[in-house]
């Protein structure tokens, strides 16, 4: 049997990653392996031909050099993927890897990712929410425009008041919502089951949206609980009830931000900005870091702690109250 090449081993590694990690992580690891293949070629090692048995931990040094123009966070992610590949080779006995030396080289040669405080324009997000709330005050003749407007209002209210990640919100089904308890059970990041709470205004926005969608849902021929909570309303969907994608979710945010704040605001507010808004709203109201961690479903309280900082406006006011 011919010896396994590096390229073949990479494919086997990525297949194993797919079994254990999220689609986003799989994409990131795939990108890292593309960079690794380029790095090998630059160092006269053809992954399509070279046997994986010749692989050594020295390759991690080549990767560190190649990643010097990447951000520290990207460098750490790509090195984590590369380290995972080395460990896969060792576990499958495809190459002789000195794992302690590998870890030492990675620590010694790579940069540390600096901690950045989450920044987002809180007041602008509240202006966007106020803007979409006015959608109940008009009824355009085009039923599709009205459906989109009410969907987008419900979508943004949901992001702001639940802390859901954009893909989690897009994946919701009508049957996921317990309307009496005001919550939903979801499968979130890391394939973990979690309970998410909904505010009264988010529930009201959802009910308003679903009420004008009732005829479409009823004609779908599918049980209501199985239908997506947020549906497409475009020519491509026709009369079928299809779920929105994460791309549509991002486009909803982009479009409504532009309408509420002007073209110059585009890109300043993303779906994840609404998650920042949620966490800081909980912290500002309660001052309870553990509560914010649990509601945001952060695995580590250190992640939540990044949000426990005062805004520049609050610092300015505190300073002037003291010194002026």
What does the H/E/C string look like for the chain?
A: CCCCEHHHHHHHHHHHHHHHCCHHHHHHHHHHHHHHHHHHHHCCCCCCCCEHHHCCCCHHHHHHHHHHHCCHHHHHHHHHHHHHHHHHHHHCCCCCCCHHHHHHHHHHHCCCCCCCCCCCCHHHHHHHHHHHHHHHHCCCCCHHHHHHHHHHHHHHHHHHHHCCCHHHHHCCEHHHEECCCCEEEEECHHHCEEEEECCHHHHHHHHHHHHHCHHHHHCCCCCHHHCECCECCCCCCCCCCCECCHHHHHHHHHHHHHHHHCHHHCCCCCHHHHHHHHHHHHHHHHCCHHHHHHHHCCCCHHHHHCCCCCCHHHHHHHHHHHHC
Mean pLDDT across the chain: 86
The C-alpha atoms of residue 250 and residue 258 are separated, in whole angstroms, by 12
pLDDT at 109: 67
134, 77: one domain: no
178, 266: one domain: yes
Residue 1 — very low, low, confident or very high, per pLDDT cuts 50/70/90? very low
Asked if the structure places residue 116 within a domain, the reply is: no
Q: Comparing 37-51, 64-78, 206-220, 272-286, which segment has the lowest mean pLDDT?
A: 64-78
What's the pTM?
Answer: 0.63
Question: Tell me: the pLDDT tens digits for 235-276?
Answer: 877 778 999 999 999 999 999 999 999 988 877 888 988 998
Q: What is the span of the domain harbouring residue 50?
A: 6-109
The C-alpha atoms of residue 220 and residue 213 are separated, in whole angstroms, by 11
Asked if the structure places residue 114 within a domain, the reply is: no
286, 143: one domain: yes
- pLDDT above 60: residue 7: yes
48, 139: one domain: no
100, 140: one domain: no
24, 95: one domain: yes
Domain finish residue from 63, 84, 109: 109
Provide CB contacts within 8 A for 168, sequence distance 6+.
186, 188, 189, 196
Asked if the structure places residue 322 within a domain, the reply is: no
126, 246: one domain: yes
> How many structural domains compose the chain?
2
Q: Comparing 62-71, 138-147, 291-300, which segment has the lowest mean pLDDT?
A: 138-147
CATH code assigned at 191: 1.10.443.10
Question: Tell me: the pLDDT tens digits for 87-116?
Answer: 999 999 998 988 888 888 777 766 655 555
Q: Comparing C-alpha atoms, which of 236, 223, 247 is closest to residue 174?
A: 223
Domain finish residue from 109, 130, 155: 109
22, 165: one domain: no
Q: What's the mean pLDDT in 166-171? A: 93
Residue 15 — very low, low, confident or very high, per pLDDT cuts 50/70/90? very high
96, 74: one domain: yes
101, 219: one domain: no
Q: What's the mean pLDDT in 46-74? A: 85
CATH code assigned at 27: 1.10.150
Provide CB contacts within 8 A for 263, sequence distance 6+.
none
83, 190: one domain: no
Question: Tell me: the pLDDT tens digits for 119-145?
Answer: 567 889 999 999 999 886 655 567 888
pLDDT at 137: 60
State which of 32-41, 110-119, 156-165 shows the largest mean pLDDT: 156-165
CA angle 47, 67, 3 (to 5 degrees): 15
- pLDDT above 50: residue 78: yes
């Amino acid at each position: 049997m011919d010896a396994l090449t590096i390229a073949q081993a990479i494919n086997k590694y990525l297949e194993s990653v797919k079994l254990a990690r999220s689609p986003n992580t799989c994409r990131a690891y795939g990108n890292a392996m593309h960079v690794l293949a380029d790095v090998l070629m630059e160092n006269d090692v053809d992954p399509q031909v070279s046997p994986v048995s010749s692989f050594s931990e020295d390759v991690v040094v080549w990767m560190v050099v190649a990643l010097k123009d990447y951000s520290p966070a990207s460098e750490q992610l790509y090195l984590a993927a590369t380290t995972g590949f080395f460990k896969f080779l060792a576990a499958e006995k495809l190459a002789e890897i000195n794992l302690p030396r590998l870890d030492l080289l990675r620590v010694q040669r790579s940069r540390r990712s600096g901690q950045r405080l989450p920044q987002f324009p809180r007041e602008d997000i509240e202006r966007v929410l106020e803007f979409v709330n006015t959608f109940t005050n008009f009824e355009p003749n085009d039923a599709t425009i009205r459906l989109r407007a009410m969907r987008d209002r419900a979508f943004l209210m949901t992001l702001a008041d639940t802390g859901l990640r954009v893909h989690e919100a897009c994946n919701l089904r009508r049957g996921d919502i317990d309307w009496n308890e005001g919550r939903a059970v979801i499968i979130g990041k890391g394939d973990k089951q979690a309970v998410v709470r909904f505010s009264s205004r988010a529930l009201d926005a959802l009910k308003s949206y679903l009420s004008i969608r009732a005829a479409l849902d009823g004609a779908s021929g599918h049980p209501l609980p199985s239908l997506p909570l947020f549906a497409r309303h475009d020519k491509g969907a026709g009369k079928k009830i299809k779920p929105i994608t994460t791309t549509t979710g991002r486009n909803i945010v982009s479009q409504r931000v532009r309408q509420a704040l002007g073209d110059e605001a585009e890109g300043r507010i993303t779906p994840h900005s609404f998650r920042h808004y949620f966490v800081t709203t909980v912290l500002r109201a309660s001052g309870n870091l553990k509560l914010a961690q649990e509601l945001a479903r952060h695995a580590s309280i250190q992640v939540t702690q990044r949000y426990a900082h005062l805004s520049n406006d609050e610092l300015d006011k505190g300073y002037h109250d003291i010194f002026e």
